[in-house]
Amino acid sequence: SQQGEEDPQALSIQEGENATMNCSYKTSINNLQWYRQNSGRGLVHLILIRSNEREKHSGRLRVTLDTSKKSSSLLITASRAADTASYFCATDYSGTYKYIFGTGTRLKVLA
């Protein structure tokens, strides 16, 4: 299976703290995306990072990509209770936007 692994599987932090989630994948990618999913809901796109990029920012989110290690990380700074959700990385190996999702990290931010 090409499914990526994410760690931790679950993370519980206090509001205001930073949350870091990691994603490892198996073969070379074209691009990688991070998504958020609230319980029982659809996906919310967070950030797309391409294979020739190393870091991207969007508001309180920072994504890094290390293609030599086949890994990516998502950092959420100054977390809020509303950030409580599951976070998934999704990798595109072929450049066709056919994504393989990682196992996900369940984040709980305590108020």
The stretch near another protein (CB under 8 A) out of 11-19, 30-38, 57-65, 68-76 is 30-38
C-beta of 34: minimal distance to another protein in Å? Answer: 12
- Quickly count: other Cβ atoms within 10 Å of residue 43's Cβ: 14
Of the candidates 99, 101, 85, 93, the one whose C-alpha atom is nearest the C-alpha of residue 23 is 101
Q: Report the relative pairing of strands 99-101 and 10-14 from DSSP bridges.
A: unpaired
- List the structure tokens of 67: 């293609």
Binding mask 55-84 for another protein (x = CB under 8 A): ------------------------------
- The nearer residue to another protein, 5 or 15, going by C-beta atoms, is 5
First-last CA distance in the chain: 38
- The nearer residue to another protein, 19 or 87, going by C-beta atoms, is 87
Does 52 participate in binding another protein (rule CB under 8 A)? Answer: no
Contact 107, 86 (CB under 8 A): yes
Does 101 participate in binding another protein (rule CB under 8 A)? Answer: yes
Question: In degrees, to the nearest 5, what angle opens at C-alpha 87 toward C-alphas 47 and 71?
Answer: 65
Does 97 participate in binding another protein (rule CB under 8 A)? Answer: yes
- The binding site for another protein (CB under 8 A) comprises 3, 31, 33, 35, 40-43, 45, 48, 88, 90, 92, 96-104
